[in-house]
Structure 1
Amino acid sequence: MNLLKKKLTILIGHYGSGKTTLAVNLAYQARGSVALADIDVNNPYFRSRDWINKFEEYGIELIIPDPEIAYAEMPFLPAQIYGSLQKEKKLILDVGGNACGTTVLSSLAQTIQTLDYELVFVVNTFRPGSETIEEIIEMFYSLQAISRLKITGIINNSNLQGFTELEDILASEKIVSSAAEKLAVLFLGNCIVENLAADVSRKIHSPIYPIVRLEQLKW
Structure 2
Amino acid sequence: MFWLGARKGTSLLMPKSRLTILVGNYGSGKTELSLNLSLMLAQEGKKVALVDLDIVNPYFRSRERADILVRHGVEPILPQGEYIMSEAPALPPEITGYLRNLDYQVVVDVGGDNTGATALGRFSEIIAAGSHELLMVVNAYRPDTDTPEKVVAMLSSIEEASGLKVTSLVNNTNLAWETDLSVVLQGQWLVEQVHQLTGLPIAFTAVESSLLEQARANLPGTIIVPVDIKMRLNWAQT
TM-score normalised by structure 1 residue count = 0.93
Match of 1:67 among 53, 78, 81: 81
1:184 and 1:125 map into 2 onto residues whose CA distance is 19
Is 2:79–2:91's contact at 8 Å kept on the other side of the alignment? yes
Q: Which residue of 1 aligns with 2:25?
A: 14
Match of 1:44 among 42, 49, 58: 58
Match of 1:195 among 201, 207, 210: 210
SS of alignment partner, residue 205 of structure 2: strand
Is 1:41–1:71's contact at 8 Å kept on the other side of the alignment? no
- Matched-pair identity in %: 34
Q: CA deviation at 1:28?
A: 1.1
Is 1:186 aligned to 2:207, yes or no? no
Q: Which residue of 2 aligns with 1:106?
A: 121
Is 1:171 aligned to 2:186, yes or no? yes
Is 2:32–2:231's contact at 8 Å kept on the other side of the alignment? no
Q: CA deviation at 1:215?
A: 5.3
TM-score normalised by structure 2 residue count = 0.86
1:194 and 1:207 map into 2 onto residues whose CA distance is 14
Match of 1:2 among 13, 18, 36: 13
1:140 and 1:3 map into 2 onto residues whose CA distance is 24
Is 1:35–1:61's contact at 8 Å kept on the other side of the alignment? yes
Q: CA deviation at 1:138?
A: 0.9
Q: In the TM superposition, what whole-angstrom CA distance separates every residue of 1:184-209 from its partner, at most 9, and x where no partner exists?
A: 11111210111111011111122111
Partner letter of residue 26 of structure 2? Answer: Y
Is 2:114–2:154's contact at 8 Å kept on the other side of the alignment? no
Q: CA deviation at 1:125?
A: 0.6
Is 1:42–1:98's contact at 8 Å kept on the other side of the alignment? no
Gap regions ≥5 residues in structure 2: 1-11, 233-238
Partner letter of residue 175 of structure 2? Answer: L
Match of 2:163 among 148, 165, 176: 148
Is 1:76–1:104's contact at 8 Å kept on the other side of the alignment? no
Q: Which residue of 2 aligns with 1:209?
A: 225
Is 2:113–2:154's contact at 8 Å kept on the other side of the alignment? no
Q: CA deviation at 1:74?
A: 4.4
Q: Which residue of 2 aligns with 1:82?
A: 96
SS of alignment partner, residue 219 of structure 2: coil
Q: CA deviation at 1:18?
A: 0.2
Partner letter of residue 49 of structure 1? Answer: R
Please report the RMSD computed on the Cα atoms of aligned residues, expressed in angstroms.
Answer: 1.6
141-150 or 78-87: which moved more?
78-87
Partner letter of residue 198 of structure 1? Answer: E
Is 2:13–2:40's contact at 8 Å kept on the other side of the alignment? no
User: CA separation of 1:165/1:140 partners in 2, compared to 1, >3 Å: closer, same or farther?
Assistant: same
SS of alignment partner, residue 46 of structure 1: coil
SS of alignment partner, residue 218 of structure 2: coil
User: CA separation of 1:148/1:7 partners in 2, compared to 1, >3 Å: closer, same or farther?
Assistant: same
2:136 and 2:107 map into 1 onto residues whose CA distance is 13
1:199 and 1:106 map into 2 onto residues whose CA distance is 39
SS of alignment partner, residue 214 of structure 1: coil
49-58 or 109-118: which moved more?
49-58
Aligned residues: 216
Q: CA deviation at 1:4?
A: 2.2
Q: CA deviation at 1:44?
A: 2.1
Q: In the TM superposition, what whole-angstrom CA distance separates every residue of 1:141-197 from its partner, at most 9, and x where no partner exists?
A: 111111110100000000001111111111210111211221011111210111111
Q: Which residue of 2 aligns with 1:157?
A: 172
1:77 and 1:6 map into 2 onto residues whose CA distance is 24
